[in-house]
Structure 1
Amino acid sequence: MPEAKLSKGQLIQSDPNRMANLEMRNNLEALYLLMDKLYKRNPSEWKKGSASSRDAAETQIRHAIDQHTPLPGLDARDTKAMELALDPHFKGDRVATFIYGIGDMLVTAHGGKHVFYLIDGLDAQRVYNAARNVEIAM
């Protein structure tokens, strides 16, 4: 089996940091795959938002999650956005709101970071709560 190459950033990471990086990356990739599937199944949703196309909607959502900033046109973040997406009276883009809510909650639970180094710590309770929230949402 070939050896994995070590990147510069990994020199200042512990094994738990690397595991947290992989966990965050894999969770967000799975979330973006879910977003793609939900938009394919519900093509009218992206039209309820400010995006000009499905691809533009997906890019907006990814950018907001990656930059840990609010989604344009949405006044809710984290679990509040998830709740809003499931509210029967909500008229906006449910896919964007739901996916953004989950992604924002995951990033918030990880201290607002996507990459972790030796000086970074994780709050186990917040990560556990985020995992439970995802489980409940599913």
Structure 2
Amino acid sequence: MENLHLRIFQQQLRDQCQFFWLGVQSLEIGHKKNDHVQVWYGVQNILTAGANISKMLWGSKGRRADARRRLRESVEVSDDSPLRDVTMRNHYEHMDERIDRWWDSSEPKSMSTRTLDQEVFLA
């Protein structure tokens, strides 16, 4: 990876990290105000920015992992970083498929959305 290429990725990583932390702040503010919409807005931004960070560090589906090694080293992110796992973000991004799967396989048809347990909330 050439130096300019590396710098461009580093700048984009910085931006995505800022978006990630803005999502965390939104989640925390929403929690304090008991505003479930703001909490889930924060969660969505955390997942999206986290996935974008992962894609920059390893490529989509990990296809560019070797080519992005210099980038990971430059920002001190190891291959076993939790940032690499995008499973939760994928579930969130493909919620339409998850809803259809639930609908086709669940009886009775009942669900709860945007639910937060105030006693165990991780903020």
Band of TM-score, shorter chain: 0.3 to 0.5
TM-score, normalised to structure 2, is: 0.34
Name the structure, 1 or 2, with higher relative contact order (CA <8 Å, separation 6+): 1
TM-score, normalised to structure 1, is: 0.31
Larger Rg computed on CA atoms: 2
